Amino acid sequence: MTENKRKHLRVRSLNLLYLGVYEKNVLIKQGIGRTLDVSESGIKLETHFPVDPKKNVQLSIGLKDEIVEIKGRSVRTVQGSREKYEIGIKFNRLKKSSLEVVKKYITAFMEEKKKKGK
């Protein structure tokens, strides 16, 4: 039996996002993608291009009725199916307002899951 070592609950999520990849504060790559799951400390997303580990990223994500601006760092990239990449992002310190939106999204997801009995 494997033990979940995650500090925060991770919930499934499918939302469009903008991704900017930075090297030494210079934008080197940008595009769109979608979220796969989200927690208070990070996100897994899917794009059509890889992002090298330890690159700084900036995300704009539509969560419910709000757009959240988040900065973070790529921690891993795995090539998925159909020429897509799954990228793990660890958030840098979130602004209080962004963290509140993420928490609200996770809470709403969990309440919806309870209603459906899953």
Q: What is the CATH number of the domain that holds 86?
A: 2.40.10.220
Q: Closest Cα to residue 59, out of 26, 28, 30?
A: 30
Question: Is 3 among the domain residues?
Answer: no
Tell me whether residue 5 is in a domain.
no
Q: What share of the chain is helix, strand, coil (3-state, %, to 5)?
A: 15, 50, 35
Q: Give pLDDT tens digits along the chain (118 positions).
A: 344 565 767 788 888 999 999 999 999 999 999 999 888 888 999 999 999 999 999 999 887 777 888 899 999 999 987 889 999 999 997 778 777 878 777 777 677 667 766 5
Domain count, the chain: 1
Give the whole-angstrom CA distance, residue 33 versus residue 21.
13
* Residue-number span of the structural domain to which 94 is assigned: 11-115
